[in-house]
């Protein structure tokens, strides 16, 4: 029994050291190159490697040559069974202004090996609170929105796309 515990301890230590010394900055630049294949460009970022993650600051996202968002800070943590990404102070392009509020205070995304084909997210901003998931195998997107008073007042056309629930909240489901 002691030998089994000892081997499990060595394995956990090896995995922790592997994650600690992993060249996370190089993996980020590799991911940036892969994103260019889908016409997503990331500019003006400051990259700082942390013990188990990365921190990016002052990011500008561009999709198909159109500036889409500016993000002040992104923190990511990479663990063996659970990964998460937090983005703060996101300002969307002025192109969405007629459909959606431009300011997003926080976006949290998580991925777990316990549910390997699902990405969960939570966001809060001028629009209110939203949570949902993206199921990769079924190619389904689900969103649950608790809209703010601003969103209810100024973005009524956008609410038409969403399904109103009995409690005054909204949901949206899409297969792609």
Q: How far, in Å, are 22, 46, 47, 114 from residue 25 at the CA level?
A: 9, 11, 7, 26
Please give the pLDDT value at position 109: 97
Q: pLDDT by residue (tens digit) across 94-146?
A: 888 888 899 999 999 999 988 999 999 999 999 999 999 999 999 999 999 99
d(CA 51, CA 75): 12
Q: pLDDT by residue (tens digit) across 47-89?
A: 888 888 899 999 999 999 888 999 999 999 988 789 999 999 9
Reported pTM: 0.84
91 in Cβ contact with 70 (< 8 Å): yes
Confidence category of residue 27, pLDDT binned at 50, 70, 90: confident
């Amino acid at each position: 029994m002691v030998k089994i515990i000892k081997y499990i301890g060595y394995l956990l230590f090896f995995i922790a050291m592997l994650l600690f010394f992993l060249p996370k900055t190089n993996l980020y630049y590799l991911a940036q190159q892969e994103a260019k294949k889908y016409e997503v460009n990331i500019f003006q970022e400051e990259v700082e490697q942390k013990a188990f993650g990365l921190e990016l600051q002052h990011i500008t996202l561009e999709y198909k040559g159109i500036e889409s968002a500016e993000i002040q800070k992104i923190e990511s943590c990479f663990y063996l069974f659970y990964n998460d990404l937090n983005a703060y102070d996101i300002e969307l392009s002025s192109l969405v202004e007629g459909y959606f509020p431009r300011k997003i205070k926080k976006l949290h995304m998580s991925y777990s090996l316990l549910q390997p084909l699902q990405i969960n997210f939570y966001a809060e901003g001028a629009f209110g609170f939203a949570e949902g998931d993206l199921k990769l195998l079924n190619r389904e997107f689900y969103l649950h929105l608790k809209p703010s008073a601003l969103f209810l007042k100024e973005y009524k056309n956008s609410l038409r796309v969403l399904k109103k629930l009995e409690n005054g909240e909204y949901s949206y489901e899409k297969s792609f």
